[in-house]
Amino acid sequence: MSLETPLHKVRGMGSSHSGVIHFWRQRVTAAALIPLSIWFGISALGLVGAHEAATLSFLSQPLNAILMAAFAIILLYHMVLGLQVVVDDYVSGNAQKVFLMLVMRGFAIAAGATSIFALLRIAGPL
């Protein structure tokens, strides 16, 4: 028998103590991706048929480079949050969960680092 009131039990954050934070991180990254996706779509359509030099010139502008970096990082973080929910819900073994979490986070870090490195190379000499 517990001395906790039913309200105290309901206000808890669940077994992992991170459910609400995870929920809000997904929503905030989704909201941030809306304007960034619109910018990316318009930019990509504007560069259709352009030469490589035009694309490099576009990405060498500081505002475009910052927006592209933000788009890539936020998109990868949102992806990891979403895949974490899928792995938690549908993978039963703990070892498999840990392995899949490490693989997807490793992929996201590698893709993010590669994206930032490429943008820095385009923006100026390294």
Flag whether 3 is in a domain: no
Flag whether 12 is in a domain: no
Query: What distances in angstroms separate CA 27 from CA 20, 34, 58, 90, 121, one per listed residue?
Result: 11, 11, 30, 21, 32
Flag whether 36 is in a domain: yes
Q: Which domain holds residue 109?
A: 17-123
Flag whether 8 is in a domain: no
Flag whether 6 is in a domain: no
Per the structure, the count of domains in the chain is: 1
pLDDT band at 124 (very low <50, low <70, confident <90, very high): confident
pTM for the complete prediction?
A: 0.82
Flag whether 46 is in a domain: yes
Domain with residue 29: its CATH number is 1.20.1300.10
pLDDT digits (tens, 9 = 90+) for 60-87: 999 999 999 999 999 999 999 999 999 9
